[in-house]
């Protein structure tokens, strides 16, 4: 870990004089019933733009997870009444808007000298949705501008400002190249508190490289049951050094060859490593302590271990069950809280702990805007208790792999150091990179796994990068 000198510029939301506190509301830009009303529905493309503005508000203002906004269980659903093609459009607008939120806000602020009028702060959401299309999607500028203006006219408090919205978005389209040049570094798109953390932990250059990776749409990684070379060829992908198959695909996942037959599952190449490090063997009793939706459970079951898949979320375990069924694999499913879970000691335990998920911002750009500094300490103390519970459930001679998809040391390096100090009967079993098929650059000086989004650069940027993961393997002394 190094420290360099040049800091990122620090930026609050430049569109507002004072950032408002996050509220867990679903107020959005416009009430869902207006978005669905007959007049709006008559204009092609308008319901999708209204839905996009509302989802952006739900995430950035309401703190909701992006995936939850697209769940059929979302209340209220911003997507009801939309056809599949429109839902895909909403997803692409919202994803790029969140990926590039910092630079979009910067561009809009440059065009709105005085920021947004107080009575019309909700204008931010349709403006962001339209700017995302103008700057980063292949949408025609006039359609993006026109539909944003129509959307604004539907919201009574904002309607008088439709002319302003029209002027701002036309100017944005005219000055697109200028803003795209400023957008190239990705610095605007990392919240200052996260940039500062990464600079402190990884140094200035690495922090910038991590932010740069977050600008890119990630590839699709698959874990295949067998024959990665064959599947890479069939799916027009490449085999990664760790045997995951990587694709650049816009085809719906369920339509790809091998999906229905259960030959593979979607899993970032870094996420596939912790279960491998556990080295589960046939007939061993293994606890997957935070199992849903089951990517790692599938790996453990594929190794023919006797797997208990524990998770406190019954909903997410339904997904796990469906995934396991498609894959033709078995695990015993248990709904419950890891902290009070009791069972005879296990041979091996995988803890894929709930965490800030800052290592997955490429795949989940909402994480950058929904997580707050205080979340890290709260999650780290939950992880501490989980580790201690897992220790009590491990037989003498048994092992634990603890992992998180976080870039934050409190949820990785510091967590495991503190565990080893508290539990002298456990010792770290360092990863032997070459022998275990793990790239040496992924293993830190202590012998733990530390992947960063900047790892695995590629000539074709669509094939570059990996999620940020930490994993440590610890063994209970006999």
Ligand X SMILES: C[S@@+](CC[C@H](N)C(=O)[O-])C[C@H]1O[C@@H](n2cnc3c(N)ncnc32)[C@H](O)[C@@H]1O
Buried b (16+ CB within 10 A) or exposed e, 182-193: ebeebbbbbbee
Q: Find the largest Cα–Cα distance for the chain.
A: 74
Q: How many residues at the interface with ligand X, by CB under 6 A?
A: 17
**Contact region with ligand X (CB under 6 A), list: 29-37, 63-71, 288-296, 392-400:** 288-296
Q: Which of residues 12-31 bind ligand X (CB under 6 A)?
A: none
The answer to whether the CB of 77 falls within 8 A of the CB of 384 is: no
Tell me: does residue 378 bind ligand X (CB under 6 A): no
Among 228, 295, 359, 465, binds ligand X (CB under 6 A): 295
Give which of 68, 190, 183, 59 is closest to 453, Cα–Cα. Answer: 190
Q: How far is CA 339 from the centre of its chain?
A: 25
Among 236, 337, 388, 425, binds ligand X (CB under 6 A): 337
Task: Determine the Cα–Cα distance for residues 449 and 431; give it in Å rounded to an integer.
Answer: 7
Q: In the complex with ligand X, which residue's Cβ is closer, 189 or 352? A: 352
Q: In the complex with ligand X, which residue's Cβ is closer, 102 or 294? A: 294
Tell me: does residue 221 bind ligand X (CB under 6 A): no
Closest approach, Cβ 350 to ligand X, in A, equals: 7
Q: In the complex with ligand X, which residue's Cβ is closer, 168 or 348? A: 348
Q: In the complex with ligand X, which residue's Cβ is closer, 153 or 330? A: 330
Among 296, 362, 455, 476, binds ligand X (CB under 6 A): 296
Tell me: does residue 412 bind ligand X (CB under 6 A): no
Closest approach, Cβ 296 to ligand X, in A, equals: 4
**Contact region with ligand X (CB under 6 A), list: 60-68, 112-120, 292-300, 372-380:** 292-300
290 noted as active-site residue? no
Among 186, 219, 293, 465, binds ligand X (CB under 6 A): 293
Tell me: does residue 401 bind ligand X (CB under 6 A): no
Q: Which of residues 313-332 bind ligand X (CB under 6 A)?
A: 313, 316
Which string of x and - marks every residue 45-84 that binds ligand X (by CB under 6 A)?
----------------------------------------
Closest approach, Cβ 195 to ligand X, in A, equals: 24
Give which of 201, 190, 239 is closest to 456, Cα–Cα. Answer: 239
Q: In the complex with ligand X, which residue's Cβ is closer, 5 or 340? A: 340
Closest approach, Cβ 433 to ligand X, in A, equals: 22
**Contact region with ligand X (CB under 6 A), list: 28-36, 62-70, 304-312, 446-454:** 304-312
Q: Which of residues 343-362 bind ligand X (CB under 6 A)?
A: 352, 354
Give me the active site residues, please: 405
**What are the residues binding ligand X (CB under 6 A)?**
290-296, 310-313, 316, 337-339, 352, 354
């Amino acid at each position: 870990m190094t420290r360099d000198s040049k800091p990122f510029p620090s930026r609050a939301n430049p569109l507002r004089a004072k950032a408002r506190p996050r509220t867990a509301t679903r107020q959005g830009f416009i009430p869902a019933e207006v978005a669905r009303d007959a007049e709006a529905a008559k204009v092609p493309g308008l319901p999708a733009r209204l839905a996009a503005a509302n989802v952006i508000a739900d995430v950035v203002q309401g703190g909701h997870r992006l995936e939850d906004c697209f769940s059929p269980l979302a209340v209220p659903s911003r997507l009801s009444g939309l056809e599949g093609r429109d839902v895909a459009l909403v997803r692409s607008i919202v994803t790029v808007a969140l990926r590039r939120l910092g630079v979009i806000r910067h561009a809009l602020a440059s065009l709105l000298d005085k920021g947004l009028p107080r009575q019309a702060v909700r204008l931010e959401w349709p403006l962001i949705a339209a700017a995302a299309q103008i700057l980063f999607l292949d949408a025609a500028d006039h359609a993006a501008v026109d539909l944003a203006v129509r959307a604004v006219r539907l919201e009574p408090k904002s309607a008088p400002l439709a002319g302003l919205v029209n002027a701002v978005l036309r100017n944005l389209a005219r000055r697109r190249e200028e803003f795209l040049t400023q957008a190239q570094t990705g610095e605007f798109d990392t919240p200052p508190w996260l940039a500062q953390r990464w600079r402190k932990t990884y140094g200035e250059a690495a922090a910038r490289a991590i932010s740069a990776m977050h600008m890119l749409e990630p590839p699709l990684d698959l874990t295949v049951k067998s024959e990665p070379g064959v599947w890479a060829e069939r799916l027009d992908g490449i085999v990664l050094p760790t045997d995951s198959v990587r694709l650049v695909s816009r085809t719906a996942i369920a339509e790809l060859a091998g999906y229905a037959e259960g030959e593979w599952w979607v899993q970032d190449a870094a996420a596939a490593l912790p279960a491998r490090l556990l080295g589960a063997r046939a007939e061993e009793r293994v606890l997957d302590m935070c199992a849903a939706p089951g990517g790692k459970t599938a790996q453990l079951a594929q190794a023919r271990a006797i797997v208990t898949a524990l998770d406190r979320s019954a909903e997410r375990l339904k997904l796990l069950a469906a995934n396991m069924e498609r894959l033709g694999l078995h695990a015993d499913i248990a709904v419950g809280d890891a902290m009070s879970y009791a069972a005879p000691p296990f041979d091996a335990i995988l803890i894929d702990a709930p965490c800030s998920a800052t290592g997955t911002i490429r795949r989940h750009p909402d994480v950058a805007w929904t997580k707050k500094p205080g979340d890290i300490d709260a999650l780290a103390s939950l992880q501490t208790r989980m580790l201690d519970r897992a220790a009590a459930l491990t037989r003498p001679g048994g092992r634990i792999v603890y992992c998180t998809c976080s870039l934050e040391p409190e949820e990785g390096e510091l967590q495991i150091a503190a565990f080893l100090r508290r539990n002298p009967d456990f010792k770290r079993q360092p990863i032997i990179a070459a022998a275990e098929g793990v790239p040496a650059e992924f293993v830190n000086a202590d012998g733990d796994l530390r992947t960063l989004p900047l790892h695995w650069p590629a000539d074709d940027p669509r094939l570059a990068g990996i999620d940020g993961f930490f994993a440590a393997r610890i063994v209970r002394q006999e």
